[in-house]
């Protein structure tokens, strides 16, 4: 189990409650679930990294439990009860120095400190759709939802938000424009926040400027945008909607740069790789797809039998697995017989793991990989 | 075979193209300038192995299409005979017969095909929106309606559908919004809402919504044949619950669709009624037929087609009840159009329901 989870570079949460780890270099997907008792109330709502070194995955479920999964050990190490299912689904999960931040649909944002049972609570309004943490300033979080505009909270001052957005002006018929913030993201190296709405708008807010209205507004498609992510290079954003249309929008002018093709179902989870020009998407069509942002081609497509809710990419290089890295090092010192021993032991563990067929299943990955040899030489 | 067909077509008096009825058996009554070909034809019939044509002559050089076709047919027959002789001569050592390539053979294997022993898929299906029906907690009750102001054909189609599906009720639409109809249906215990859309006096679409919170499927309906138009049909269907046959719903999407159709009908078919409803999926088209069968003896069955027939093609499957604007789609048919320089051709990408 442990070596399987160490190899996985993409983590996906499904509606059946199974945490799936996918290794794109080995083209395999693994299910990590406790025993064979699955139930719909363990449906994974949110996934997040438990720490900065990305060794722990936090899994938030519908019944209010947050499980910690260790990628090194390959098992669920901890379970915490953070609210009940009556309070709504988790819409966001984040970690700051030893505190866990959770937000549910009814707007209750809680900070759970380690050791103590009391929590700092913030009421973020009703119908919250998403909560995200600022990666550079870890005590700032943003929330937004249906008829609930974007609010940025500082956890040290939980009474009032440090930034509340204002709705845009009435439209040409003098009617109030409805608001529905579905997802947001903090733009690095600046104060700005970009949001995508259920009314197919992408908006950029700047708390540093005196205006509380969006600084930039762009439109894409006719269907609600459900997920958003910022790629490694600045000035663009990738959005997905309920019809499975993915687009890269340019944030300087608000124009569509291009569309990513292939998805057949609504996009539920979308994440760009922190350094490589890759984007991973998962959705209701039960596939995990990895596209390249440069030429907008499909790099990998994995069939994972349940509807997928959220995706989490690790920062490590997706093409190279850890074994390949050690392989390079060992090729240099080929004199020693350690190479064979290491490879043999690795194979043996895999065979034993296959015999334990009850817990895990392996799915075959269909991949369209380009020039992997070249990349290995470069690295 | 083609030669025979051609003669048949030529014999029919309605065909305007016929010039000379029978060419091959009788020598053609033609003008003098066709004398060369006249000679060659009987020669060809008498001595197939001897060619008196110049060696570079090929069948494609004959300008007359009918004659060229006949010559080509003869050439093909000879080739086949020769090949058969060679094959027989080899006997056991003959290479195995090649399987002809068909579209079904050349399909790429669909990775979403469901493995029957798959636990995860079994769990997924066991707890999805149809589990209430499959666990026998609810009985199906269908509401059939149309788009606003339906014309006669659609109304008759709805009425015939209501006879085919037990416990189905037809209601006039009267311009009501579906989103308002759905809560009322749920309150009255309906499990399905079926809306037949009409365009230019002909039904062309169907929205099938599973009611408590279930998926909504939007289909394109084509080739609707009402009872009057069916040939050799039997009497009207009775009130007995039919058996349901679902063919070729093998992929994960196919499974969802199969369950959608199966949940329209009551759990226990009444075999006394000897009626069967078939949903046959082939190349993403679902063919619906309704038959009555009778076993003549152990091996032979006679069937009579009753009831309407139509074909469906899935356009989208949406999670949740009908909400085309804000709903989340589980599967959407995406038509990819390839543009060539002067020719525009449209091919649909195969997100196949069946392998």
Model pLDDT for residues A71-105, shown as the tens digit of each residue = 888 888 888 888 877 888 899 999 888 888 999 99
Give yes or no for B127 touching A (CB within 8 A): yes
* 3-class state of residue A202 by DSSP: strand
The four Cα atoms A256, A261, A265, A270 give a dihedral, to 10 degrees, of -60
Give percent of chain A with pLDDT exceeding 90. Answer: 40
Please return the burial class of A275, using the count of CB atoms within 10 Å of its CB with bins 0-12, 13-18 and 19+: exposed
Give tens-digit pLDDT for A185-243. 999 888 899 999 999 999 999 999 999 999 999 999 999 999 999 998 878 999 999 99
Q: Which candidate from B124, B327, B332 shows the least CB-CB separation from A306?
A: B124
Q: Do A303 and B331 touch (CB under 8 A)?
A: no
Residue B304 lies in a domain: yes
Type and span of the H or E element at B334: none
Q: Which candidate from A18, A36, A265 shows the least CB-CB separation from B330?
A: A265
Give tens-digit pLDDT for B301-352. 999 999 899 999 999 999 999 988 899 999 999 876 665 444 333 333 444 4
> Percent helix, strand, coil in chain A (nearest 5)?
15, 45, 45
Q: Do B120 and A39 touch (CB under 8 A)?
A: no
pLDDT score recorded for residue B59: 79
Cβ atoms B218, B207 nearer than 8 A: yes
Give yes or no for B120 touching A (CB within 8 A): yes
Considering only residues B345 and B206, tell me which one the structure prediction assigns the higher pLDDT: B206
**Chain A contact set for B332 (CB, 8 A):** 243-244, 264-265
Mean of per-residue pLDDT scores for chain A? 82
pLDDT score recorded for residue B97: 80
Give tens-digit pLDDT for A259-268. 998 888 999 9
Which segments of chain A does DSSP mark as H helices, in order? Answer: 2-7, 322-332, 338-355, 372-378
Q: Is the confidence at residue B88, as pLDDT, over 50?
A: yes
Total domains, chain B:
1
pLDDT score recorded for residue A50: 87
- pLDDT band of residue A379 (cuts 50, 70, 90) is very low
Q: Do B334 and A305 touch (CB under 8 A)?
A: no
Give yes or no for A376 touching B (CB within 8 A): no
Q: Is the confidence at residue B47, as pLDDT, over 90?
A: no
pLDDT score recorded for residue A155: 87
Residue B78 Cα to chain centre, angstroms: 36
* 3-class state of residue B255 by DSSP: helix
Which segments of A209-368 does DSSP mark as H helices, in order? Answer: 322-332, 338-355
- pLDDT band of residue A371 (cuts 50, 70, 90) is very low
Q: Do B120 and A224 touch (CB under 8 A)?
A: no
Residue B295 lies in a domain: yes
CA separation for the pair A362, A305 (Å, rounded)? 11
ipTM of the complex: 0.77
- pLDDT band of residue B202 (cuts 50, 70, 90) is very high
Give yes or no for B115 touching A (CB within 8 A): no
Q: Is the confidence at residue B280, as pLDDT, over 90?
A: yes
Q: Is the confidence at residue B19, as pLDDT, over 50?
A: no
Q: What angle do CA B4, B5, B11 make, to 5 degrees?
A: 90
Give percent of chain B with pLDDT exceeding 90. Answer: 54
CA separation for the pair A152, A145 (Å, rounded)? 13
- Residue entry with tokens 């909607």: A241
CA separation for the pair B114, B130 (Å, rounded)? 17
**Interface mutation vs chain B, best among A180, A183, A242, A364, most B CBs within 10 Å:** A242
Considering only residues A127 and B349, tell me which one the structure prediction assigns the higher pLDDT: A127
Residue B298 lies in a domain: yes
Q: Which candidate from A198, A266, A361 shows the least CB-CB separation from B329?
A: A266
Mean pLDDT of the region B232-253: 91
Q: Which candidate from A15, A16, A265 shows the least CB-CB separation from B329?
A: A265
Give the bridge partners for A28, in sequence order: A23, A364
C-alpha distance from B124 to closest chain A C-alpha (Å) = 7
CA separation for the pair A103, A151 (Å, rounded)? 13
Q: Do B121 and A285 touch (CB under 8 A)?
A: no
Tokens of B351: 């997100």
C-alpha distance from A40 to closest chain B C-alpha (Å) = 7
* 3-class state of residue A28 by DSSP: strand
Give yes or no for B111 touching A (CB within 8 A): yes
In chain B, which residue's Cα lies nearest the Cα of A266? Answer: B329
Residue B194 lies in a domain: yes
Q: Domain residues for B310?
A: 105-349
Mean pLDDT of the region B29-48: 47
Q: Do B332 and A361 touch (CB under 8 A)?
A: no
Of A47-61, B26-40, B115-129, the range with the lowest mean pLDDT is B26-40
Give percent of chain A with pLDDT exceeding 70. Answer: 83
| Beta strands A90-96 and A236-241, pairing class | unpaired
Give yes or no for A241 touching B (CB within 8 A): no
Other C-beta atoms closer than 10 Å to the C-beta of A141 total 26
**Chain B contact set for A223 (CB, 8 A):** 325
Cβ atoms A263, A283 nearer than 8 A: yes
pLDDT score recorded for residue B78: 95
Q: Do A284 and B111 touch (CB under 8 A)?
A: no
Mean pLDDT of the region A278-293: 92
pLDDT score recorded for residue A343: 65
C-alpha distance from A223 to closest chain B C-alpha (Å) = 6
Residue B49 lies in a domain: no
Give yes or no for B112 touching A (CB within 8 A): yes
Residue A258 Cα to chain centre, angstroms: 22
- Residue entry with tokens 């349940």: A306
Cβ atoms B317, B256 nearer than 8 A: yes
Q: Give the C-alpha distances (Å, rounded to integers) separating B20 from B23, B64, B66, B314.
A: 7, 13, 11, 50
Counting every residue, how long is chain B? 355
**Interface mutation vs chain A, best among B325, B329, B349, B352, most A CBs within 10 Å:** B329
Give yes or no for A39 touching B (CB within 8 A): yes
Cβ atoms B10, B18 nearer than 8 A: yes
Mean pLDDT of the region B112-140: 88
What CATH number does residue B122 fall under? 3.40.50.10480
Q: Do A284 and B328 touch (CB under 8 A)?
A: yes
Q: Do A16 and B120 touch (CB under 8 A)?
A: yes
Residue B30 lies in a domain: no
Q: Do A303 and B111 touch (CB under 8 A)?
A: yes
Give tens-digit pLDDT for A291-324. 999 899 999 999 998 899 999 998 877 665 444 4
Residue B327 lies in a domain: yes
């Amino acid at each position: 189990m442990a070596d399987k989870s160490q190899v996985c570079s993409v983590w996906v949460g499904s509606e059946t409650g199974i945490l799936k780890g996918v290794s794109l270099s080995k083209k395999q997907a693994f299910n990590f679930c406790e025993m064979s008792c699955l139930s719909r109330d363990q449906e994974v709502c949110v996934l997040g990294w438990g720490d900065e070194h990305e060794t722990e995955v936090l899994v938030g479920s519908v019944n209010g439990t947050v499980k910690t999964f260790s990628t090194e050990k390959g098992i669920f190490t901890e379970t915490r009860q953070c609210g009940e299912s009556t309070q709504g689904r988790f819409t966001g999960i984040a970690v700051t120095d030893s505190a866990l931040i959770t937000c549910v649909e009814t707007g209750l944002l809680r900070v759970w400190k380690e050791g103590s049972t009391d929590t700092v609570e913030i009421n973020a309004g009703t119908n919250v759709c998403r909560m995200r943490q600022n990666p550079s300033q870890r005590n700032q979080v943003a929330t937004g939802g249906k008829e609930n505009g974007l609010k940025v909270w500082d956890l040290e001052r939980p009474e009032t938000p440090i930034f509340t957005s204002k709705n845009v002006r009435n439209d040409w018929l003098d009617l109030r424009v409805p608001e529905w913030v579905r997802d947001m993201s903090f733009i690095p190296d600046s104060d700005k926040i970009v949001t995508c709405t259920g009314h197919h708008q992408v908006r950029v807010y700047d708390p540093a400027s005196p205006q509380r209205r969006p600084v930039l507004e762009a439109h894409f498609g006719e269907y609600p945008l459900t997920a958003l992510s910022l790629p490694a290079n600045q000035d663009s954003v990738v959005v997905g909607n309920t019809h499975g249309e993915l687009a890269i929008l340019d944030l300087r002018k608000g124009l569509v740069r291009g569309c990513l093709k292939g998805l057949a179902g609504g996009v539920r989870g979308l994440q760009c790789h922190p350094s490589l020009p890759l984007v991973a998407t998962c959705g209701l069509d039960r596939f995990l797809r990895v596209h390249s942002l440069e030429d907008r081609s499909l790099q990998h497509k994995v069939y994972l039998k349940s509807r997928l809710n959220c995706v989490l990419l690790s920062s490590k290089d997706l093409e190279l697995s850890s074994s390949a890295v050690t392989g390079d090092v060992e090729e240099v010192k080929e004199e020693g017989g350690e190479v064979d021993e290491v490879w043999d032991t690795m194979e043996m563990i895999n065979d034993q793991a296959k015999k334990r067929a009850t817990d895990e299943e392996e799915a075959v990955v269909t991949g369209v990989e380009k020039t992997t040899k070249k990349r290995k030489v470069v690295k | 075979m083609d030669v025979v067909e051609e003669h048949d077509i030529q014999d029919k008096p309605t065909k305007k193209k016929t010039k000379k009825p029978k060419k091959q058996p009788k020598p053609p009554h033609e003008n003098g300038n066709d004398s060369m070909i006249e000679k060659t034809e009987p020669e060809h019939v008498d001595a197939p192995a001897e060619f008196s044509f110049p060696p570079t002559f090929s069948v494609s050089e004959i300008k007359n299409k009918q004659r060229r076709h006949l010559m080509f047919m003869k050439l093909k027959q000879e080739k086949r005979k020769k090949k058969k002789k060679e094959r027989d001569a080899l006997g056991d050592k003959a290479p195995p017969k090649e399987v002809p390539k068909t579209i079904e053979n050349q399909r790429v294997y669909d990775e979403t095909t469901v493995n029957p022993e798959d636990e995860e898929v079994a769990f997924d299906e066991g707890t999805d929106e149809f589990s209430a029906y499959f666990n026998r907690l609810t009985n199906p009750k269908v509401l059939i309606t149309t788009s606003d102001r339906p014309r006669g054909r659609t109304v008759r189609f709805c009425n015939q559908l209501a006879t085919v599906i037990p416990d189905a009720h037809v209601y006039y639409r009267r311009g009501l919004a579906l989103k308002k109809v759905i809560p009322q249906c749920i309150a009255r215990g309906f499990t399905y809402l079926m809306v037949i859309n009409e365009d230019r006096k002909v039904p062309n679409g169907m929205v099938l919504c599973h009611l408590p919170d279930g998926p909504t499927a939007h289909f394109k309906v084509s080739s609707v044949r009402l009872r009057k138009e069916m040939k050799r049909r039997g009497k009207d269907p009775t009130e007995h619950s039919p058996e349901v046959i679902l063919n070729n719903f093998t992929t994960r999407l196919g499974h969802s669709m199969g369950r959608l159709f199966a949940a329209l009908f009551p759990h226990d078919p009444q075999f006394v009624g000897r009626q069967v409803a078939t949903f046959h999926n082939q190349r993403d088209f679902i063919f619906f037929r309704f038959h009555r069968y009778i076993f003549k003896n152990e091996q032979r069955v006679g069937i009579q087609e009753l009831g309407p027939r139509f074909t469906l093609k899935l356009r989208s499957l949406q999670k949740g009840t009908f909400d085309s604007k804000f709903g989340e789609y589980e599967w959407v048919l995406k038509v990819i159009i390839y543009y060539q320089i002067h020719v525009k051709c449209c091919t649909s990408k195969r997100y196949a329901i069946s392998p």
